[in-house]
Amino acid sequence: MLGPVILAASRSDRMRRLVSAAPVTKQVVDRFIPGETVDEIVPIIEDLTAKGLELTMDVVGEDITNPEQAEAARDAYLELIDRLKGLDLGTRAEVSVKLSMFGQALPGGHELALANVRPVVEAAAAIGTTVTLDAEDHTTLDSMFAIHEELRKDFPQTGCVIQAYLFRTEADARRLAANGSRVRIVKGAYKEPAEVAYQDKAEIDKAYVRITRILMEGSGYPMIGSHDPRLISIAQELAHRAGRKPAEYEFQMLYGIRSEEHLRLAAEGHRMRVYTAYGTDWYGYFMRRLAEKPANLRFFVRSMITKG
């Protein structure tokens, strides 16, 4: 299985240098990360929303080493939200954040991350949109869920992400579904040990379906993060059985992956949100996209051979 190897490489400084230096890398990265600055990403937002799609925006970057970098991440999101204000899209363009960017792994990181992310959530609410807290590796989740709970006291539309491959997630889903949370379910894209996560794809898919049922039958707002046609079809059926209307849940997919499916779902009347990342610190995000889907890796290798 190449996935775990690629995920391990995503933490390697040497591999980061090699991949970043490859002549073809930027061409391939642009497939998944269509810009480095706010100025470059605004036309993408306008194009996708004109096609009936919605977005969640991610400023890429994770492994910060000091509080100043955490403040810079906060400011980058505030700049993004200021530009979204001018587009007047409301919840059609929300933002997703990784708390590691806001200082979560630094000394006193829980309090630091909360202090840095709160102004972002406040700014988003002020322009009529929302923030979703991305899930990272399992060691960060207790802190993420605690920050999510704290933010929801003042900003109840703040969302969070749960990962189907973790053993803990069904219990997390029941709690979040009961308290009315916005919840994105994904399979999971980090390398996790067998002690905490399913390793078999079939088991992960079964867990995904069980958790999707919990969310659809709960009082929250499910966000189905998947490119798998079978899981998308199952989610639609579970929503129907739960009596949910199309506006009461949504699908989410990554920019650059199954773009025609984005348009198909939107044309059928579904809320279809495209997870769109931008920025210069793209390496970790890019490597997880390669690990998730063999076709992405084949595309990268084929491009390198063609250009080599």
Q: What is the pLDDT of residue 31?
A: 81
Task: Determine whether domain 34-281 maps to CATH 3.40.630.30.
Answer: no
| 143-199 confidence digits (pLDDT tens) | 999 999 999 999 999 999 999 999 999 999 999 999 999 999 999 988 899 999 999
Residue 254 near residue 275 (C-beta atoms within 8 A):
yes
Q: Cα-Cα-Cα-Cα dihedral of 30, 36, 39, 41, to 10°?
A: 40
Q: Confidence class of residue 307 from pLDDT cuts 50, 70 and 90?
A: very low
Residue 159 near residue 121 (C-beta atoms within 8 A):
no
**Out of 58-62, 83-87, 173-177, 205-209, least confident range:** 58-62
* Residue 197 DSSP one-character state: B
Please indicate, yes or no, whether the overall pTM of this predicted structure exceeds 0.95: no
The residues assigned a catalytic role are 134, 184
Question: Domain residues of the chain, as ranges?
Answer: 34-281
Query: What is the token pair recorded at 173?
Result: 């889903």
Q: How far is CA 146 from the centre of its chain?
A: 19
d(CA 101, CA 105): 9
| 22-59 confidence digits (pLDDT tens) | 555 566 777 888 999 999 999 999 999 999 999 999 99
Q: Which helix (H) or strand (E) holds 186?
A: strand 182-186
d(CA 244, CA 236): 9
